[in-house]
Chain A
Amino acid sequence: MSEKFDVIVVGAGPSGNAAAYTAAKAGLSVLQIERGEYPGSKNVQGAILYANALEQIIPDFRDDAPLERHIIEQRMWVLDEESFVGTHFRSDDYNKPPYNRYTIIRAQFDKWFSSKVKEAGALVICETTVECLLMDGDQVVGVRCDRQGGEVFADVVILADGVNSTLARKAGFHGEIQAGNVALAVKEILFMPQETIEARFNIKEEEGVVIEMFGKITDGMMGTGFLYTNKDSITLGVGCMLSDFKENPNRTSPYTLLEKMKAHPSVAPLIAGGEMKEYCAHLIPEGGFYAVPKVHGNGWMIVGDSGGFVNAVHREGSNLAMTTGRLAAEAAIAAKAAGKGFKAKQLASYKQALDESFVMKDLHKYRDMPQVFHQNNQFFTTYPELLNQAARSMITVDGIDKKTKEKEIFSNFRKSRSLTGLAGDALKLWRAFR
Chain B
Amino acid sequence: MSTVAVNVEEKLFQNRYKVDHGRPHIKIRQPDLCRNECKSQSCTYVCPASCYKAEGNGAVTLITDGCLECGSCRIICTELSNVEWEYPRGGHGILFKFG
- Judged by a CB distance under 8 angstroms, whether B78 is at the interface is yes
- Expressed in whole angstroms, the minimum distance between the Cβ of B44 and any Cβ of chain A is 8
Query: Please, which residue of chain A has its CB at the minimum distance from the CB of B2?
Result: A260
- Judged by a CB distance under 8 angstroms, whether A189 is at the interface is yes
- Judged by a CB distance under 8 angstroms, whether B30 is at the interface is no
- Judged by a CB distance under 8 angstroms, whether A369 is at the interface is no
Is there contact, CB below 8 Å, between A219 and B91? no
- Judged by a CB distance under 8 angstroms, whether B58 is at the interface is no
- Expressed in whole angstroms, the minimum distance between the Cβ of B81 and any Cβ of chain A is 8
The CA of A298 and the CA of B65, in the complex, are separated in Å by 38
The CA of A126 and the CA of B18, in the complex, are separated in Å by 14
Known contacts A145-B90, A242-B72, A260-B4; A277 and B99 CB within 8 A of each other? no
Is there contact, CB below 8 Å, between B90 and A189? no
Is there contact, CB below 8 Å, between A107 and B94? no
- Judged by a CB distance under 8 angstroms, whether A101 is at the interface is no
Interface 0/1 of B19-53, CB less than 8 Å to A: 00000000000000000000010100111111000
The CA of A184 and the CA of B73, in the complex, are separated in Å by 11
Interface residue ranges of B42-99 to A (CB < 8 Å): 42, 45-50, 68-72, 74-76, 78, 86-91, 93-99
A37 CB contact (under 8 Å) in B6, B18, B76, B99: B18
Is there contact, CB below 8 Å, between B76 and A242? yes
Interface residue ranges of A23-65 to B (CB < 8 Å): 35-37, 40-45, 47
Interface size range of chain B in the complex: 35 or more
Is there contact, CB below 8 Å, between A253 and B98? no
Is there contact, CB below 8 Å, between B1 and A219? yes
Query: Please, which residue of chain B has its CB at the minimum distance from the CB of A107?
Result: B99
* Residues of B close to A36: CB separation below 8 A: 91, 95
The CA of A107 and the CA of B6, in the complex, are separated in Å by 27
- Judged by a CB distance under 8 angstroms, whether A355 is at the interface is no
Is there contact, CB below 8 Å, between B96 and A177? no
**Residue count of chain A within 8 Å CB distance of chain B:** 57
Select the residue from A37, A189, A260, A281 with max chain B CB neighbours within 10 A: A281
Main SS of the interface on chain B? Answer: loop
Is there contact, CB below 8 Å, between A129 and B89? yes
Query: Please, which residue of chain B has its CB at the minimum distance from the CB of A243?
Result: B76
Is there contact, CB below 8 Å, between A278 and B90? no
The CA of A397 and the CA of B15, in the complex, are separated in Å by 49
Is there contact, CB below 8 Å, between B99 and A254? no
- Judged by a CB distance under 8 angstroms, whether A294 is at the interface is no
- Judged by a CB distance under 8 angstroms, whether A205 is at the interface is no
Is there contact, CB below 8 Å, between A254 and B96? no
Is there contact, CB below 8 Å, between A254 and B90? no
- Judged by a CB distance under 8 angstroms, whether A354 is at the interface is no
- Expressed in whole angstroms, the minimum distance between the Cβ of A89 and any Cβ of chain B is 27
The CA of A182 and the CA of B14, in the complex, are separated in Å by 26
- Judged by a CB distance under 8 angstroms, whether A313 is at the interface is no
Choose, from A112-120, A207-215, A244-252, the stretch at the interface.
A244-252
- Judged by a CB distance under 8 angstroms, whether A413 is at the interface is no
* Residues of B close to A219: CB separation below 8 A: 1
A106 CB contact (under 8 Å) in B12, B48, B49, B98: B98
Is there contact, CB below 8 Å, between A176 and B97? no
The CA of A164 and the CA of B91, in the complex, are separated in Å by 18
Is there contact, CB below 8 Å, between A35 and B14? no
- Judged by a CB distance under 8 angstroms, whether A276 is at the interface is yes
Interface 0/1 of A250-284, CB less than 8 Å to B: 11111110011001000000000000111111110
- Expressed in whole angstroms, the minimum distance between the Cβ of A108 and any Cβ of chain B is 8
B1 CB contact (under 8 Å) in A43, A250, A277: A250
A44 CB contact (under 8 Å) in B40, B88, B99: B99
* Residues of A close to B47: CB separation below 8 A: 253
Query: Please, which residue of chain A has its CB at the minimum distance from the CB of B68?
Result: A281
Write 22 A-B pairs (CB below 8 A) sorted by A numbering. A35-B90, A40-B99, A42-B96, A43-B99, A44-B96, A47-B99, A107-B96, A107-B97, A107-B98, A128-B91, A129-B88, A145-B90, A146-B89, A146-B90, A177-B71, A233-B98, A246-B46, A253-B8, A253-B47, A276-B14, A278-B96, A280-B96
